[in-house]
Amino acid sequence: MGNKQKKRKIQKKKQKEKNERINKSLQEGNDFEKELKLLVLGTGDSGKSTFVKQAQILFKDGFDEKQRELFKQAIKNNLILHMKLLINGVYDFGLDLSKSNEKLAKRFLEISDRTQPNEQIAETISKLWADSSIKEVFDRRSELQIPDTANYYLDAIDRIVDENYQPTDMDIVYCRIPTTGISELQFVVQDHPWRIVDVGGQKSERRKWIHQFDDVSMIIYVVAMSEYDQNLFEDENINRMYESLELFDSVASNRIFTRTSIILVFNKMDIFEEKIKKTDPKICFKNYTGGCDFEKAKKFITKQFIKVVKTKRRKVFPFYTKATEPESIKNTFETIIETVLKNTQL
């Protein structure tokens, strides 16, 4: 047993040293290893950045202190923002809070969005979060612009406002900060250097994509399956799924990507599975006839995206995942890596 453990330690040390040599080579501009560049595209709130954050946990040992501090502030601010959205939802839907909570809610709306929640604010949030009308608004969150992960933080209010709070990896994974500009992640896996490029999905950010189109080994296009009954943040008259489909059409038909294979990541499958029980995809796709059947809806939506790719010679690989679940992402990334290596000229 001792010899096996010793052998594993030696192998791990050798692999780490090799990874460091490759990383150093890349930093110095040495091109002896072909870098595999993955361009991650998708509309805003599709889960692109969550996908990349999971890659950082898997391949880069997570987040440094500076990143954790940035997310810590965002998480605390989101507690305020999420509760304000829920309170406004109560009024939008014509619901009633209890008398004591009605007073708390009105005072809460006067708090600055930049306020760092203390114990008193945390107590107020907990009381409001327990109100049946607030819970009903969260259940109907797809009708408003309320994040699916709001409940994760609201349930953890006491832990987050503790003076010694440090965000866990999952706290960071769930935290939504819209991507502005371009972010990159470099790592080494299976003896190859990789670069994941994530660009903002909002319309105002898409003009920056063109600068990232060179030397792309594979496109990863992320689709939020659960958004078939939701509208855009930027334009509440446009369905999110339709927007994603149109954007994918423009990516797939771009001349620069004529020979670039595409990985279609259908994300948020857990939320989609819950939502499909109550909401028929016909709300988005008028020609859909499968009703509230998970497998039929999954197959139909997948087909809508794949048929956008005009030529049969173009390779499209569909994957289904839950970007907030580490094991799901781990399995997806392992398969993606194998797919890229198999279909890329090195």
Is the pLDDT assigned to residue 222 strictly greater than 50? Answer: yes
Summarize pLDDT for 37-47 with one digit per residue, the tens. Answer: 899 998 888 88
Q: Give residue limits of the domains in the chain.
A: 33-63+179-341, 66-174
Res. 31: pLDDT tops 60: no
Mean pLDDT of 225-229: 93
Rounded to 5 degrees, φ, ψ at 278 are -115, -30
DSSP codes joined into one string, 181-221:
SEEEEEEEETTEEEEEEEE--SGGGGGGGGGG-TT-SEEEE
How many other C-beta atoms can be found within 10 angstroms of the C-beta atom of residue 155? 12
Which residues are documented as binding site for GTP?
198-202, 267-270, 323
Q: Which residues neighbour 299 within 8 Å (Cβ) at sequence distance 6 or greater?
A: none
Size of the chain, expressed as the number of residues it contains: 346
Whether 32 shows a pLDDT value over 50: the answer reads no
> Could you give the angle at which helices 119-129 and 99-108 cross, rounded to 10 degrees?
130
Query: Does the reported pTM lie above 0.75?
Result: yes
| Beta pairing, strands 262-267 & 36-41 | unpaired
Q: Please give the CATH number for the structural domain made up of 33-63+179-341.
A: 3.40.50.300
Tens of pLDDT, residues 116-130? 899 999 999 999 999
Q: pLDDT class for 257, splitting at 50, 70, 90?
A: confident
Mean pLDDT of 148-165: 94
- What is the band of 102 on the pLDDT scale with cuts at 50, 70, 90? very high
- Region 246-252: mean pLDDT is 89
Residue 332: band (very low, low, confident or very high) from pLDDT cuts 50, 70, 90: confident
More confident: 314 or 295 = 295
Predicted pLDDT at 312 = 63
pLDDT at residue 16, as a whole number? 56
Domains 33-63+179-341 and 66-174 alike in fold: no
Q: For residues 143-163, give the mean pLDDT.
A: 92
- What average pLDDT does this structure show over 159-168? 94
CB 257 within 8 A of CB 213: yes
Extract the annotated binding site: 49, 179, 198-202, 267-270, 323
Segment holding 224, helix H or strand E: strand 218-224
In CATH terms, 66-174 corresponds, of 1.10.490.10, 1.10.400.10, 1.10.10.10, 2.30.29.30, to 1.10.400.10
Annotated binding site for Mg(2+): 49, 179
Q: What does the alpha-carbon distance between residue 172 and residue 169 come to, in Å, rounded to a whole number?
A: 5
| pLDDT at residue 99 tops 70 | yes
317-327 per-position pLDDT tens digit: 999 998 778 78
pLDDT of residue 13: 57
Percentage of the chain beyond pLDDT 70 is 83
Tell me the pLDDT of the chain averaged across its residues.
85
Q: What is the mean pLDDT of residues 271-287?
A: 93
Query: Which amino acid is located at 166 in the chain?
Result: Q
